[in-house]
Amino acid sequence: MANVPFSQLPKPNRIRITGLSGSGKSHLGARLATLLSVPHAQEDSFHFSTKDFIMDDKQTVDARTLAFTTANASKGYVTDGFWRDINHIMMPQINVVIELQYPIYIILWQLMKRSVWRCWTGEKLWGTDNVETVWSHLKLWDNDNVFGQTIRVWWNGSEEPQSAKGKLRRDWFREGWPERGIVPQEYCWTGDRMLLVFKHPTELDVWLREVEKMN
């Protein structure tokens, strides 16, 4: 379901943005959060607190995720990332999923621009001391290389309607999330849910202009 009018989205907006690295999830998340006057969090920030890209333990990740979502449940929030390991916390609570399914050439171009900027400025990621380096981007053979990883995920997900991730989101849209995990009942969303899919940045721009008019 694409280009659903903003006025039809469930309130309060609990929005989760997904897409490949470089698709613009974090940029969209920050922009939407500003327009809606709600908090924004990159899901990476739930997972990392130290340098060297060492992921925190699951208990800590779960606690951070639950703290952010429950603290802002009544007002609404925007997150971006779609980490599978926190689905049991995120999916029972959110009411809008936005998918950025752009052509791979757009994603790689945006990813290159982002990587150059981060390497040039030494931008620290997710409130930690983690930074991207030129060497990390040159190691295309490394499983953690963002360019190689993006291409692999794109290639493996080229049949998205048949993929497990696509089925997961469609099932959530129709039926909700079956397992509520550690989320208290009062924070679980029981109303309407919306799944928005944007195939090109121009589609998203049209939709965002409506959001701007209403806010």
Number of compact structural domains in the chain: 1
Asked if the structure places residue 197 within a domain, the reply is: yes
Domain that holds residue 195: 6-111+161-214
- For every residue of 106-161, DSSP letters joined together read HHHHHHHHHHHHHHHHTPPPTTSS----HHHHH-TTSTT-HHHHHHHHHHHTTTGG
Rg (CA), the chain: 17
- At 176, which CATH number? 3.40.50
Is residue 213 within 8 Å of residue 93, measured between CB atoms? no
Asked if the structure places residue 188 within a domain, the reply is: yes
Asked if the structure places residue 27 within a domain, the reply is: yes
pTM score, two decimals? 0.85
Asked if the structure places residue 186 within a domain, the reply is: yes
Q: Return per-residue pLDDT of the chain as tens, 215 residues.
A: 446 788 889 999 999 999 998 999 999 999 999 999 999 999 999 999 887 778 899 999 999 999 999 999 999 999 999 788 998 899 999 999 999 999 999 999 999 998 898 888 988 887 887 788 877 766 766 777 788 878 888 877 654 444 555 666 666 666 666 666 689 999 999 888 888 999 999 999 999 998 888 77
Asked if the structure places residue 137 within a domain, the reply is: no
Asked if the structure places residue 45 within a domain, the reply is: yes
Asked if the structure places residue 39 within a domain, the reply is: yes
Q: Which residues face 197 on adjacent strands?
A: 99
